[in-house]
Amino acid sequence: KSPSPRQNMPVRYFIMKSSNLQNIGISQQKGIWSTTPSNERKLNGAFWESSVVYLIFSVQGSGCFQGFARMGSAIGCEKSQDWGSAGFGGVFKVDWIRKESVPFQFAHHLLNPWNGSKKVQ
């Protein structure tokens, strides 16, 4: 395998909050995700400037992470009807690595230094 052209660049991580579990299920089945337009520029920048971008998914109020995926493409202009008209932007590819719920309590040792060293959840 030839090395990635971005191999010496940083790895980036983002927590993706979903309003419902149905959207996570659609993503896991179809290998796609869509976010609000306000997040698109940040994610696209990370995709092009990083060796890999990991997305950690959590449904609002669930108290768990529902799994994580690698961002597989930049965010395009094409929208998906899968999420209805919920104000989402373009669709992008995600490659799911883990599809299981992990309670936040198992990740309390993880702290975010860019958010006042608060717990990651």
What's the domain count of the chain?
Answer: 1
Quote the pTM value. Answer: 0.82
Q: Locate 11 and state its tokens.
A: 């790895």
Q: Is 21 within the bounds of a domain?
A: yes
What pLDDT does residue 68 have? 92
- Regions in the chain scoring below 70 on pLDDT: 1-8, 84-86, 103-104, 106-115, 117-121
Q: Is 4 within the bounds of a domain?
A: no
Q: Is 92 within the bounds of a domain?
A: yes
Q: Is 45 within the bounds of a domain?
A: yes
What pLDDT does residue 1 have? 36
String of b and e for 65-90 (b: at least 16 CB within 10 Å)?
A: bbbbbebbeebeeeeeebbeeeebbb
Q: Is 2 within the bounds of a domain?
A: no
Q: List the domain range (segments joined by +) for residue 94.
A: 11-119
Residue 91 belongs to a domain with what CATH number?
3.10.590.10
Read off the pLDDT of residues 36-68 as tens digits, 9 standing for 90 and up. Answer: 888 999 999 999 999 999 999 999 888 888 999
68 DSSP 8-state letter: E
